Each structure stands twice: as structure tokens, then as C-alpha cells.
Amino acid sequence: MEERFKNIDPQKRDKIINAAIDEFAANGYEKASTNEIVKNAGISRGLLYHYFKDKEELYDVLTKYAIETFVDKINSSIDWDEPDIFERLKQITFVKIEVSRVYPKLFNFVVNIFLKDKNVQTMEDAYAFYEKMGINIQELFTNVYQKNIDYSKFREPEKIGINMNIIRWTIEKWAEEIMQKSGGNFTAEDMAKFGDQIDEYISVLKKAFY
């Protein structure tokens, strides 16, 4: 079933995915309506149930697809030889923005998975959830923030943990606002502007912490 869905016309597939993501992200699993999904995807109920036997299977396939899409994009886009943490954070931020161009509500959907639908209470719960899908998320994010990174540039090495939280929260909040305001409708010109904007933030942050 999952392979059959992955192999359909990409444009039709993305319409179904986005319609389902929007509905689940807005209402959670229990209240989400398949009627709304088929209406917004522009397909019949029969076609939806041709690919998925029920709402639960749709949700489970969508969950796996959303997380694998993000993880695969990280693995294929990050320059693991980059030693500067700010450049690494810029790369991960643009991974999120690029994914949101195709699936604007994907990150809202993923947040709902943990906060509402799957009732993930602790980091251990989250690690176990990802492990069921064959993803070592702890290792992945350790690599994102540590692999080949040179932390010797920080002015106060004893405060790296606090400094990193401030830096990460700043850049993540900027990216979150960008994605919310635009709804994923980014042009090439927009992406160039985002690059200039994040470089300005990075310049200020480097002066503060390096």
C-alpha cells in the first residue's frame, strides 16, 4: 500500500499529502475528517481508500512519510565537513524551509504527532518512536550539532550549552516566522533574501559569542 502510494504521479501524491497534513495538523487524529481531506485534495473517497484501507493507515503512512522526508533531506543536504556551527545551523534551517516549500504544514503535523496524537512524554519516548521507523534520531541530531564542529571559537567555552540554546532558539524562531508568514510559497528571489537575512543574524551572533 505504501509503495503504491509513493509511486503515483508526484503532483497528485503531494496534493493528497498536503490535504491530509493540513487536516491532521489542524484537528489532530481523532477530529480529522477524511471528507475534508478528499475535498481539499480534489479526489474521490474511493480513490483515497484505494491507497489506504482507513484513516488510521493514512495517518500512519503519512507520519512515516513526513518524518522520513525530513530526515532524508537532512542527510542529503548537510555538509558534514563544515566546522562552523553557525553555517551548520544555516544549513539545517534551509532544509526546513525547502521542505516547507513542498509541504507547508509538515512541521505542524510532526509537532502534533508528539504533543497530541502519540502522547510522547519524554525524550526516551521520542527516541523509541523514531526507532520503530528505523531512525536513530538521537545520533542524527548529535551529528547535526557536533560532527566535525569546532567549538574552540567560542569566547566562553564553559557556557557553550547556554550559548547554543540562545543561538538555536534565535535562528529557529526566525525560520518559524518565515514559514508561517509565507505558507511555503517561496520564490527563488525569496530564498536569496532569506539567505541575506540569516547571514545578518549570524553576523550579530558571531560577534556576541565568538
> pLDDT (tens digit, 0 to 9) for every residue of the chain, 210 residues total?
566 777 778 888 889 989 999 999 888 888 889 999 999 999 888 888 888 889 888 988 888 888 888 889 998 999 999 999 999 999 999 988 888 888 888 888 887 776 655 566 677 777 787 888 788 888 988 999 999 999 999 999 899 999 999 999 999 899 888 877 766 677 778 888 888 999 999 999 999 999
Give 198's Cβ-side CA count (13 Å radius). 26
The pLDDT score that the predictor gives to residue 69 is 87
Please state the domain extents for the chain.
2-209
Which residue in 75, 64, 201, 82 sits closest to 147, CA to CA?
Answer: 82
Which residue in 209, 79, 82, 92 sits closest to 152, CA to CA?
Answer: 209
What's the CA gap between 66 and 135, in Å, rounded? 13
The pLDDT score that the predictor gives to residue 192 is 85
- List the CATH code of the domain at 2-209: 1.10.357.10
Asked if 174 contacts 190 with a C-beta cutoff of 8 angstroms, the reply is: no
Owner of C-alpha cell 569546532: 150
Asked if 45 contacts 36 with a C-beta cutoff of 8 angstroms, the reply is: no
